[in-house]
Amino acid sequence: MDDNNNDDAALPAGGGEEQRTFVETKIERTKSKNPKERLFSITFDNFEELPSAKDHEIESSTFSCLGSQWQINMYPGGETKSFSEMVAVFLERCSGDSELAIKYSIGLSKDGERISRQGENVFDGSDIWGWSNFYSRSEIIGDDEEDGYLVNWALTIHVGIELDEFIPMNPASSIILKLFNDENSADIVFEICEQQKSGSESDRKRAKTSAAKLYYAHRLILQHYSAELSALCATSDGMTPIIIIDVKPEVFRHLLYYVYGGEISDEDFAVHEKDFINAADKYGVTNLKLEAEVWYVNNTEITIDNVIDNLLYADAMNCALLKESVMDFIVENKEEVMQRVSFQDVPGDVCKDLLAAMSRHYEKDSPGDDGENETDVEKTYSKMRIRDLRQKLDAKGLGLDIDGSREALIANLKQHS
């Protein structure tokens, strides 16, 4: 988090004369990218209405983590050691007698990005550590709801806690990865042959023999990964090779490697990003498709000459992020697009994506003009970016499908709200 006052070190709470107010807060356990981190969100409703006098402490509800009870102590108007207009935030261990060494983070989120400050301290029994100059009150509130960190006038503070001890990684993922292309334990085999477009039949047979690649796999893993791979397994009995002719051998190898838990290098993504999208879409390897789509969007310059090709490809492959990028380009370059681009072959169902892009682009110029019949939730979802819709679905931890059109993502979110 940006530090306005160079106060980087986590400090114990100040010892000034304080008033305390307990506030019932909404606490949720959320998903962290760090498997060792326990991540919680603590939401304070009506932040601007909370007492903001100096040294007035707002105590959150408690939550349980690592065998102790914890709470957030916030000073909306700062505490003894705070500079002017700075909000102070501390993490308090409310129970426990023994020392507990932890790494922790306290942060805010905006536009799907979590910005946080980290500390490493020993909490000796009931102890309090945090930041006297956590963040500027004016920046938290912002000039309007789009600029600040408040959502529906509520402030959500994210707290991450993990033990500051060496914990070996669970070896299960590495064990599974070692099974990749292991001929001795495999019970299914794929023969990957690129289609030969020309030449005599004998030439094609020789080319097929020389170009064919065999990859060994395990039905149990593939059947549990996707319905498409499961159906593919059902086409073969025993070790009779399953012939694949519509995917490059190296691309199918990377796809299988990904299914077994492997990571694909930046260099391979740069070379095969579109091939990965096509293969992963066909065989139901959703995460690989979405990761390759991100690469494609970030490495492809949308121009007047390729805008329709990219739009048609995004629509055909159900690449919502790419379609959003194309729509943003169209809105930002609307006059040139109108003069030089034909939309004759464009499906009519892209209109909602175009309207969403226009809404994001013009909403600051036309505040409040969001329609009369939508609920607040529908308004929010309809203007959100694809990455944020996907993040919200993924954060629910229900194994929900995060691939699909904007309409499908929003419908899924509404169904599980």
d(Cα 379, Cα 92) in Å, to the nearest integer?
37
pLDDT for 365: 47
Q: pLDDT averaged over the chain?
A: 85
Task: Report, in angstroms and rounded to the nearest whole number, the Rg of the chain calculated over CA atoms.
Answer: 27
Q: Which of 147, 109, 128 is nearest to 1 (CA)?
A: 109
pTM of the model: 0.64
As beta bridge partners, residue 158 has: 41, 107
pLDDT for 6: 40
pLDDT for 207: 46
Q: Please give the share of the chain, as a percent, with pLDDT higher than 70.
A: 85
d(Cα 197, Cα 220) in Å, to the nearest integer?
35
Tell me which DSSP letter residue 19 carries.
E
d(Cα 357, Cα 371) in Å, to the nearest integer?
15
Helix (H) or strand (E) holding 128: strand 128-136
Work out the burial of residue 346: count CB atoms within 10 Å of its CB; fewer than 13 is exposed, 13-18 middle, 19 or more buried. middle
Q: Which of 321, 317, 339 is nearest to 385 (CA)?
A: 321
pLDDT mean for each 10 residues of the chain (417 residues): 46 67 95 87 96 96 94 96 95 89 92 84 89 95 81 94 83 94 96 66 49 91 93 90 94 97 94 96 95 93 93 93 91 88 79 72 51 54 85 76 86 84
d(Cα 116, Cα 40) in Å, to the nearest integer?
13
pLDDT for 38: 94
pLDDT for 366: 45
Work out the burial of residue 389: count CB atoms within 10 Å of its CB; fewer than 13 is exposed, 13-18 middle, 19 or more buried. buried
Number of other CB atoms surrounding residue 401 within 10 Å = 11
pLDDT for 53: 94
